Amino acid sequence: MSDLHDLTLLEQAAAVRDKSVSPVELVEHYLARIDKLSDTVGAFVTVTADSALEAARAAEQAVAAGVSDLPALHGVPTAIKDLNLVAGVITRFGTSAMPGIDLGIDDAVTTKLKAAGLISLGKTNTPEFGLPCYTEPDVAPPARTPWDLSRSAGGSSGGAAAAVAAGLVAAAQGSDGGGSIRIPASVCGLFGVKPSRGRVSNAPVSSEISGLAVNGPLARTVRDAAALLDAMSGPAVSDWQWAPPPTSTFLAACDTSPRRLRIGRFATPVIADAEVHPDCLAAYDAATAALADLGHELIDHTPTFTAALVPAFETIWSQEFLALPFDESIEANTRPLTRWIRERGRATTGAQTYAALATLRQAARTELEATHRFDAVLTPTLAQPPALVGELRNDDDPAADFEAQKRFTPFTAPYNMSGQPAVTVPLHWTDAALPIGVQLVGRPYGEATLLAIAAQLERALPWSARRPECW
């Protein structure tokens, strides 16, 4: 069974269906790898071996019984981020300031993944309340990119990315409120998708007032990510905003050949006065050349997003974390960055918060109008290669910590403001074998176009055969 983790998500699903591999074999294989590697890469904070094996035995019985309407990803292991609720499993939210909780309910995305036949092996590592773009919580080892264990797997879906990149699951769910899928996918050499606002339900707990955060997939291949996006997409009956249904499956979009597309591009940071590292520019230039070789038209674009929007974003960000539903008596036990951002929220009035949200909405309108002539927009995903563990974190000066994060990731948050879909594509590795992603941004609800472009790039410049040493 040493090569089961070499199979993609879709290959595992096919192997289960044709009975060449059983769900129990898959789960046992991955549990053994988790036991061996999870703490090394900081992937899992909770492993649910007993419930996973129980679900695997039930899945195996359904295959043996010849059930004809098995779900698409029947019997395949995955994992859930530890910010998302799973009935019967403690959610710790990346914090040691309070005990983990089990509300006895699933998040809608958890329910969707179960309905697709997936079996969760546990909860993946995340920073405290998902706040920073690195994953170094008190409740688990830091998440590290398997490509260089001295370097961070990013955040806040750092555990999910580390798990997929180290071969502990074939694909996993993450969430993204300012880059938290794209950042870890980039530094772990994965394909990650931030869907359009409303594509994946945030029910039943999230109020979605800001509209910044969405759930999405991380995977080694575009097709696996598309299949996982198919599994998790769609509204809950309680949703008050939702994306229109796609005209076909996202997996089918990967098999299309895009016509000649107009792709805008820029590499000037819009969130911080940051210097873009030569390796990130090399990845961006290589992606430009690859897209041109595929017949697409690349056009320089000057974004309307500017650093003037940062205070508005930070106002909303601080209010979101101030509104976290925990007893303020535990705040003294939270991380310095959490306390700092919540204190900023307390210093903000309701009128200032409303004005900030209006500013972000108007900025999104302006940029959407400016980019409507493009089928997609290309940028670097990050301004720097994978950061060393602890390099961005500064417990003594949380303001400096936050500024370092902005300089590291000045390209991702604008598209949480606008609600557009965005993907990161692992097209480049440095001479030191560090992965560098590039970002493609689509029109609203344009995930299918992004997946078609990314799949075309993957066929031209395949990356999934690359493996870190710990593989």
Are 392 and 132 in contact, with CB atoms under 8 Å apart? yes
Give the per-residue SS3 of 339-373: HHHHHHHHCCCHHHHHHHHHHHHHHHHHHHHHHCC
Residues 33-46, mean pLDDT to the nearest whole number: 98
Q: Examine residue 321 and state whether it is found in any structural domain, yes or no.
A: yes
| Residue 92 scores a pLDDT above 80 | yes
Catalytic residue numbers read 81, 156, 180
For residues 249 and 72, what is the distance between their CA atoms, to the nearest angstrom?
12
User: Predicted confidence band at 307 (pLDDT cuts at 50, 70, 90)?
Assistant: confident
Residues 427-433, mean pLDDT to the nearest whole number: 97
Helix H or strand E segment including 286:
helix 278-293
Q: Phi first, then psi: give them for residue 437, nearest 5 degrees.
A: -95, 160
Q: Examine residue 324 and state whether it is found in any structural domain, yes or no.
A: yes
274 phi-psi bin (left φ>0, alpha ψ -120 to 50, beta other): beta
Q: Examine residue 387 and state whether it is found in any structural domain, yes or no.
A: yes
Range of the domain at 247: 4-460
Report the CATH number that the domain containing residue 125 is assigned in CATH. 3.90.1300.10
Residues 123-131, mean pLDDT to the nearest whole number: 98
| Residue 331 scores a pLDDT above 90 | yes
Residues 6+ apart with CB under 8 A from 42: 125, 135, 140, 141, 142, 143, 144, 153, 158, 159, 162
pTM: 0.98
Cα-to-chain-centroid distance, residue 436: 15
Looking at residue 181, what is its pLDDT?
99
Q: Examine residue 26 and state whether it is found in any structural domain, yes or no.
A: yes
| Residue 2 scores a pLDDT above 70 | no
Q: Examine residue 471 and state whether it is found in any structural domain, yes or no.
A: no
Cβ-based burial of 213 (10 A; exposed 0-12, middle 13-18, buried ≥19): buried
For residues 179 and 36, what is the distance between their CA atoms, to the nearest angstrom?
29
Q: Examine residue 169 and state whether it is found in any structural domain, yes or no.
A: yes
User: Predicted confidence band at 71 (pLDDT cuts at 50, 70, 90)?
Assistant: very high
Residues 6+ apart with CB under 8 A from 462: none
CA nearest 34: which of 47, 23, 22? 47
| Residue 1 scores a pLDDT above 50 | no
Residues 335-358, mean pLDDT to the nearest whole number: 97
For residues 215 and 174, what is the distance between their CA atoms, to the nearest angstrom?
6
pLDDT tens digits, one per residue of 240-299: 989 999 999 999 999 999 999 999 999 999 988 899 999 999 999 999 999 999 999 999
| Residue 31 scores a pLDDT above 50 | yes
For residues 131 and 155, what is the distance between their CA atoms, to the nearest angstrom?
8
Mean pLDDT (the chain, rounded): 97
Q: Examine residue 337 and state whether it is found in any structural domain, yes or no.
A: yes
If one counts the domains in the chain, the total is 1
Looking at residue 308, what is its pLDDT?
86
Q: Examine residue 470 and state whether it is found in any structural domain, yes or no.
A: no
For residues 460 and 294, what is the distance between their CA atoms, to the nearest angstrom?
8
Helix H or strand E segment including 80:
strand 77-81
> How is 246-262 classified by DSSP, letter by letter?
PSS-HHHHTTS---S-E
